[in-house]
Chains A and B, each alone.
Chain A
Amino acid sequence: MTLIESKPEERELAPVADAADDVSLQPPPPDPGFERVLATSDHKVVGRAYIFTALLFLGASLVLHLLLGLENREVGFDLLDPDAYVQVFTLANLSLFLLGLAPAFLGLAIYVVPLQMGANGIAFPRAAAASYWGFLVGTALLIAGYGMNGGVGGGDVEGTLIGYAGLGLVALALLVAAMAVVTTVVALRPPGMSMLRVPAFSWSMFVAGIVWLVTLPAFGANLLLLYVDSDHGSVAFSLPGLAWPQLRWVLLQPAVFAFAIPVLGIAADVVPAMTRSRIVNRVAVLGPIGAFGVLSFGPWAQTAFNPHLVGEATYIVMSVAIVLPVLALLGGLLDTVRRGGRPQANSSLPLALLSLVALLGAAVAGGWGTIPYLDLSGTTWPEGVAKLVAGASLLGLASGLAYWGPKIWGAMPVDALGKLNILVLLGGAALFGAGDLISGGAGQLPFWPGLGRVDRVSDVSQLGQLALTAGAALLVLGVVLLLLAHLPAAMKRSGAPADPWEGSTLEWSTSSPPPFINFLAAPALVTSAEPLLDTRAAAAEVPPDATAQEVE
């Protein structure tokens, strides 16, 4: 857990006067190559690698969900034997958030947050790079464990142990990456940038990083107990039917909402930029993001050790209250759209707003599901809420990639595919979540690994499964479209302007993609939350016949 670095500080303290003459500070060659990725501590290379890998895993996870949706013994689709079904079920659920969405947001943050801070690099760059390789090795171990008939709910002890070890390594890697991002926000801000002036995405990653830092270790503690118990003959924690509930809490409310915290920050950065307006009250934006983070704190809600928790007042109040910050932020951003100019024709704006709408739907469904007399907590309803959160997160991720894509790849992504993806992802997110909500409303019991399959007996729950299957298929298509929209830009790596959206935050003041040290000159004193808008406003006030010296 200790991280000792000396290079970043040394590099940050290096004089920038000779930046333009120093070959080592010039932009990197266009083709990174495998060796450069392997040995790099450049946050941009690590961020890009995280994003692509996570998108691939996200697609694979959704394919597993599609497989689970197609599996329907009642209508003759019996694709998986009972043991395989358990493994596909646990892997699909774990991988959606831990191998897909969380690493994708971290990749975006590793790339963008240092640029938004005007910093020359990320804090602990080698730790950030190590986290990527740890994430990859952990994923490989997890999949190897499942391949050996192990993993969570598997039958082979060795495979189960390897699966737990892999999952633990993935959690540790995500923690290290989150730590690097949070430290960057806290310690590498430029002069004048108070926490209130931090861009919304960086703020959301700061909040998300803190919440993940207090959530994932609790998840890791459960993994440790499962590992030790499995290794000593399964006497307490890893008995059939007991292992999954100890891990499942991180994928259910309130903890699952923590994975969607970056969505709020992406929307709050994209909307003002795309409507060329300022956020009037930053407290009204940063406050709800912080409140959402607090309400998504989940280690206290481990139902495996407190089965009566879902009926307790604290749980109900927190589940209902999480609607408020999403509603406040959505309202504030819609007001920003109303006050702003003509929106720019880019898919990031509708995707950002729709991600908030989907997240609001998830929060409302989560609150609704805790009403005691409805008896929804023991059904598939909570899983539907988690799937809605996943859908909203995917919409937010697509928005963030459309917005920062030119900066990340150095070329413009194919926005026609992005616009097509608005409908695909929205439909997919809605159906993916609605499937389990419909089934849960009809009283369908959830699948419980280790305790056998639960058949879908009613027509309504069959309809729910159909919706879930269609939603998973649409989301798979959405991830494919996302990759197709960004792959050409990632291959081209040139041609994007430094600031295609007339953005207001510091990342748009450097070239696309940025040079190795991000900024060839130290950023000027930050005097507001929108430093580039200030610069443009000041430039507009300079008379057209002023000399360069007067402008200076």
Chain B
Amino acid sequence: MAAELMAGSSVLDAPPPPPMRPRVQLVGSALASAGALVFLLSLVGIYLARRADVINSGRDWLPQSANIPIAQPTMMMATLGLSIFTVLWAAWALTNQDRPNAYVALGLTLIFGLAYVNQATYLFSVMNVPVRSDAGLLIYAVAGTHVALVVIGLGYLAIVSFRALSGQYSRLPDGPAAAALYWIALALVFPVIWFGIFITK
């Protein structure tokens, strides 16, 4: 009966809507993450190649005045490691419409990110490596680039948080996953920097 009533209506005449395309932001973020990782890893590769050249030529790589502590970089790595869990928690909560959990998880991730930036700036201020040297230039380039990418990630997460507050992820839930993907890529590459630069020095 209902079908007969609606048979002449415009609802049934209309063609089906185009398919949902939820992966655009996720794919874009994956590509952006890949580009960021290649940028960072290229810098690490140049650091290692240059360091090997200098050491093989019998010179000291780090200046005598340099004092790179191990505690700060390790804590930075631990902080980013923790943030992987919180950002995954946030993505899961947003996908499942669990707003309270999402706000807590996003807030914690932002705090961890800010803590990482704070620790990095402290580390730069105490390691006493001049920029005007092979080693100094490369250390600041690699570590500074990672900090800059983390700051961009913080901005991305902040936007995701604001969008979550406005309820935009009820229809297209790939935004949180995209932000989480970028953040996790940055967190996972830090051990390479930690070992390649702060451990082997």
Whether the pair B46, A221 counts as a contact (CB closer than 8 A) is yes
Contact A233 B132 (CB under 8 A): yes
Interface residues on chain A, number (Cβ under 8 Å): 50
Complex contact B140–A228 (CB within 8 A): yes
Interface status of A70 (Cβ within 8 A of chain B): no
Tell me the B45-59 residues at the A interface (CB within 8 Å). Answer: 45-46, 49-50
A123 interface neighbour in B24, B40, B134, B172, Cβ under 8 Å: B24
State which residues 255-270 of A face B: CB under 8 Å. Answer: none
Interface residues of A in 217-247 (CB under 8 A from B): 217-218, 220-222, 224-225, 228-229, 232-233, 235-237
Bound Cα distance A304, B50 (Å): 10
- Residues in B1-46 with C-beta less than 8 Å from chain A: 10, 13-29, 31-36, 38-40, 42-43, 45-46
Interface centre among A17, A213, A217, A228 (most CB of B within 10 A): A217
The answer to whether A3 has its CB under 8 Å from any CB of chain B is: yes
* Contact A521 B15, beta carbon cutoff 8 Å: yes
Instruction: Report yes or no: A9 in contact with B134, Cβ–Cβ below 8 A.
Output: no
Say if the beta carbon of A280 comes within 8 Å of chain B. Answer: no
Chain B residue nearest to A224 (CB atoms) is B141
C-alpha spacing A433/B49, complex, angstroms: 33
Q: Which residues of A contact B45 (CB under 8 A)?
A: 305
Contact partners of B145 in chain A: CB under 8 A: 224
Answer whether residue A534 sits at the interface, using C-beta atoms and an 8 A cutoff: no
B positions within 8 Å CB-CB of A: 10, 13-29, 31-36, 38-40, 42-43, 45-46, 49-50, 131-134, 137-138, 140-141, 145, 149, 152-153, 155-156, 159, 168, 172, 175, 179, 182
Between A and B, 23 residue pairs with Cβ closer than 8 Å are A2-B155, A3-B32, A5-B24, A9-B22, A13-B17, A17-B13, A120-B18, A182-B27, A182-B31, A188-B21, A190-B19, A217-B38, A217-B39, A222-B46, A228-B140, A228-B141, A229-B137, A232-B131, A235-B133, A235-B134, A235-B137, A305-B46, A305-B50
Q: A1-B152, A213-B34 are in contact. List 20 more A-B contacts (CB 8 A).
A: A2-B32, A2-B159, A3-B28, A4-B159, A13-B18, A16-B17, A17-B14, A17-B15, A123-B28, A213-B31, A217-B38, A217-B42, A218-B38, A221-B39, A222-B42, A224-B43, A228-B131, A236-B133, A237-B137, A306-B49
Decide: A235 and B42 in contact? CB cutoff 8 A. Answer: no
Beyond A191-B19, A213-B31, A306-B49, is A1–B36 a contact (Cβ under 8 Å)?
yes
Measuring CB to CB, which residues of chain A are less than 8 angstroms from any residue of chain B? 1-6, 8-9, 12-13, 15-17, 120, 123-124, 127, 175, 179-180, 182-183, 186-188, 190-191, 209, 213-214, 216-218, 220-222, 224-225, 228-229, 232-233, 235-237, 299, 305-306, 521-522
Interface of B is mostly: helix
Flag if A5 contacts B20 (CB, 8 Å): no
Complex interface: chain A residues within 8 A of B137 (CB): 225, 228-229, 232, 235-237
- A8-B24, A123-B24, A299-B42 are known contacts. Are A225 and B141 too (CB-CB below 8 A)? yes
Among B17, B34, B38, max chain A CB count under 10 A is at B38
Contact B21 A4 (CB under 8 A): no
**Known contacts A2-B155, A522-B15; A218 and B39 CB within 8 A of each other:** yes
**Are B18 and A213 in touch, CB under 8 angstroms?**
no
Residues of B within 8 A of A191 (CB): 19
| List of 7 A-B pairs having minimum Cβ-Cβ separation, nearest first | A221-B42, A217-B39, A2-B156, A17-B14, A218-B42, A217-B38, A1-B32
**Cα(A195)–Cα(B56), bound, Å:** 48
Nearest CB on B from A165, distance (A): 15
Contact B31 A183 (CB under 8 A): yes
CB contacts (< 8 Å) of A224 on chain B: these are: 43, 141, 145
**A123 (CB) vs chain B CBs: closest residue:** B24
A72 to B132, CA, bound (A): 40
C-alpha spacing A120/B155, complex, angstroms: 29
In the complex the two chains form, is A187's CB within 8 Å of B132's CB? no
Are A225 and B46 in contact, CB atoms less than 8 angstroms apart? yes
Whether B21 and A183, one on each chain, are in contact in the complex, defined by CB atoms closer than 8 angstroms, is no
* B15 and A225 form a contact (CB under 8 A): no
Residues of chain A within 8 A (CB-CB) of B43 are 221, 224-225
B24 with A9: CB separation less than 8 A? yes
B178–chain A nearest beta-carbon distance, Å: 8
Q: Among the listed B14, B156, B168, which residue makes an inter-chain contact with A6, where contact means beta carbons less than 8 Å apart?
A: B168
A187–B20 Cα gap in the complex (Å)? 10
Q: Are A15 and B24 in contact (CB under 8 A)?
A: no
Known: A182-B31, A222-B46, A522-B18. A232 touches B23 (CB 8 A): no
How far, in Å, is A65 (CB) from chain B's closest CB?
Answer: 29
Q: Which residue of B lies closest to A4 (CB)?
A: B159
Task: Given the known inter-chain contacts A12-B18, A187-B21, A225-B43, please indicate yes or no for A217 contacting B133, CB distance below 8 A.
Answer: no
